[in-house]
Amino acid sequence: MAAPRKKALAQEAPSTLAEAISLIGTYGAIVHEIARLGLDANTAIAMIEAARDEAIKPLEVEVNDIFKRLRAWWAVAGDAVTEGKRKSGELAGWLLGIRTTTPSLKLPKGAKAEDVVALVLNGEGGLAFISTKHSLDKPAIIKVLRELGDGREHPLLSPIGLTVSQREEFFIDRVGPKPADPEVIETEGAEA
């Protein structure tokens, strides 16, 4: 069964200049309140993240130290734990061991990727080791299509069906320079 259709609420547009000015004032007040609420939220989030980071720092130092100690222990005792049959083993609900990382290409010391690309391209069969990414140059295509705007067609672009899309849209923006975000100043004895 289909959901019942709902009618959209009628929008009442202002009918006089005074009504439009009043509505713009309400619009501005709401925009400013949205910005203030966003700033308050961002400030609170930043304070929470700072407290979290401060609490995590000593724990990260400790866990890294434990990791290094267990890695050294595994190098000596790993074979005993796995009876030499595997590279990893389970201890106290955790899997410990050695694994091979994903291969990565290492350039010679001091070499730059651009220099290596040039050397590979100069070698026989070098194109097999070079990747090229292609993408549309949209600004260039728009420029060409606009220049052909008098009904002429481009032999490559027109058969594909590429067109320029642009529309007009209503906007509301503040006149003059935008106000800076308010600075949050902590005061002594302020209630939270």
Asked whether residue 186 carries a pLDDT value surpassing 80, the answer given is no
| Percent of the chain scoring above 90 in pLDDT | 36
Mean pLDDT score, 147-171? 78
Residue 88 has pLDDT above 80, yes or no: yes
Among 88, 91, 85, 90, CA closest to 100: 88
pLDDT confidence of residue 7:
72
34 vs 107, which has greater pLDDT? 34
Phi, psi (degrees; rounded to nearest 5) at 96 = -115, 150
Task: Enter the tokens of residue 142.
Answer: 């728009």
Helix and strand numbers, DSSP H then E, in the chain:
4, 2
Residues in the chain: 192
**How high does pLDDT run on average in the chain?**
85
Q: How far apart are CA 92 and CA 96, in angstroms?
A: 10
| pLDDT, mean of residues 122-137 | 82
How far is the C-alpha of 117 from the C-alpha of 131, rounded, in Å?
Answer: 10
Are 98 and 87 within 8 A, CB to CB? Answer: yes
For residue 105 the two structure tokens come to: 């290409």
Q: How confident is the model at residue 192 (pLDDT cuts 50, 70, 90)?
A: very low
User: Which residues make beta-bridge pairs with 88?
Assistant: 97
The 10s digit of each residue's pLDDT in 16-56 is 999 999 999 999 999 999 999 999 999 999 999 999 999 99
Helix (H/G/I), strand (E/B), else coil: 43: helix
pLDDT at 160: 79
pLDDT of residue 65: 96
Distance from C-alpha of 97 to C-alpha of 77, rounded to nearest angstrom = 10
For the chain, report the end-to-end CA distance as a whole number of angstroms: 52
pLDDT tier at 132 (50, 70, 90 boundaries)? confident
Instruction: Identify the residue with better confidence: 55 or 115.
Output: 55
Write out the H or E segment, with its range, that includes residue 88. strand 88-91
